[in-house]
Copies of this chain bind each other. A is one copy, B any other.
């Protein structure tokens, strides 16, 4: 495999950004990534975005963003895989470079979610599920993840405390990240006293509705070396799909697409989960983080909560997870999320993560998923050599 590097990243502040449009957000993150990378020779553009049609009444994002970035006439493509749009866009950038047709590719993700009402946002997000057999009958994402949480708690005795502690940990991490939407610590008691959204999930078990963008510059290792700025290297990746509908699965307590994507990524990287220094994972709801631990092999099936209860995934623990604050504290502009994860791993592996730096970080994993895990991407990155 041709060795592929990330040589720069850019993030907007995440939050309720009423003074910035969809294109403003994307261009801000992309220009930061270009500046950081030390090159503006961008050969192609990938834009991860879930539902700009429903959120912003705008499609054709590849052409739009290439134009507003001043990059016409480069090829520009929008990629969608619900909340995994960013992660899947990164894979397309990787294939584009590996194919030999392009040398340097900018991959960005964006979502502008707060220009519509909460109800409309819930519907727009619901289109990541099966619209005919789930959304039509009233299922929403908090509702679907509540089913998964209930089943997991019933089958494995996962505790309500463990769910709360995922949120507490991620908000603790988020305190050290200036880009996050909710930069504040929370307590277990606050999680439990926040409004119930879909039993057993309270408001503080859910990632928020967020505007934001993230971008990275991907290139060959040769070019990265020539440029001479800090970079990180792709070590492995995997992508897999599962049934779109939760009701179609044999076991709703296990994320099989995540497990299959991870298996492929570990194999390509030739590593085991215990070789990882840290991970950014898709904690759209607190239960998701626990289930992803199990699918990634960080814990055995049903034992995900032990990592949380023993603080193994907290900064300073054996494998810190979501040092960025995760979707929970950072916010979840769905198309941007998968790209923002790689931005965090870049900062950690290049030792730019300041107060949330994982000491001696060498290998980092990103796991991004769409819907109730119907699509998932895992990438593994290592420090420059």
The distance from the CB of A260 to the nearest CB of chain B, in whole angstroms, is 5
A186 within 8 Å of B by Cβ? no
Contacts of A95 in B (CB 8 A): 92, 95-96, 98-99, 101
Candidates B23, B60, B132, B239; contact of A82 at CB < 8 Å:
B60
Complex Cα distance, B334 from A82, in Å, reads 20
Contacts of A360 in B (CB 8 A): none
Candidates B59, B94, B127, B241; contact of A58 at CB < 8 Å:
B127
Q: Contact at B59–A82, with CB atoms within 8 Å?
A: yes
A343 within 8 Å of B by Cβ? no
Contacts of A371 in B (CB 8 A): 60, 63
Complex Cα distance, B76 from A53, in Å, reads 20
Contacts of A132 in B (CB 8 A): 21, 23, 58
In chain A, residues 74-129, which have Cβ atoms closer than 8 Å to a Cβ of chain B? 74-82, 88, 91-92, 94-96, 98-101, 123-124, 127-129
Instruction: Given A95-B96, A98-B101, verify A82-B57 contact (CB < 8 Å).
Output: no
Q: Contact at A242–B63, with CB atoms within 8 Å?
A: yes
Q: Contact at B98–A131, with CB atoms within 8 Å?
A: no
Q: Contact at B131–A63, with CB atoms within 8 Å?
A: no
Complex Cα distance, B64 from A375, in Å, reads 9
Q: Contact at B123–A242, with CB atoms within 8 Å?
A: no
Q: Contact at B81–A63, with CB atoms within 8 Å?
A: yes
Closest to A1 in B: B100
In chain A, residues 348-374, which have Cβ atoms closer than 8 Å to a Cβ of chain B? 370-371, 374
A292 within 8 Å of B by Cβ? no
Closest to A373 in B: B63
Closest to A124 in B: B53
Q: Contact at B374–A67, with CB atoms within 8 Å?
A: yes
A257 within 8 Å of B by Cβ? yes
Closest to A135 in B: B57
Contacts of A91 in B (CB 8 A): 75, 77
Give 1 or 0 for each of A155-187: 1 = CB within 8 Å of chain B CB.
Answer: 000000000000000000000000000000000
A binding-site residues for B, Cβ under 8 Å: 1, 21, 23, 50-54, 56-64, 66-68, 71-82, 88, 91-92, 94-96, 98-101, 123-124, 127-132, 135, 239-245, 248, 256-257, 260, 370-371, 374-375
28 contacts between A and B (CB under 8 A): A1-B100, A21-B132, A23-B132, A50-B59, A51-B59, A53-B53, A53-B124, A54-B54, A57-B123, A60-B374, A62-B88, A62-B241, A63-B81, A64-B130, A67-B242, A67-B248, A72-B257, A73-B240, A73-B241, A75-B91, A75-B239, A75-B241, A77-B79, A77-B88, A77-B91, A95-B98, A95-B99, A96-B99
Given contacts A60-B127, A92-B95, 14 further A-B contacts (CB under 8 A): A53-B54, A54-B54, A54-B59, A57-B123, A59-B82, A60-B370, A63-B241, A63-B242, A73-B256, A75-B240, A76-B81, A77-B88, A78-B81, A98-B101
Q: Which 3 A-B pairs have the closest CB atoms?
A: A98-B99, A63-B374, A75-B239
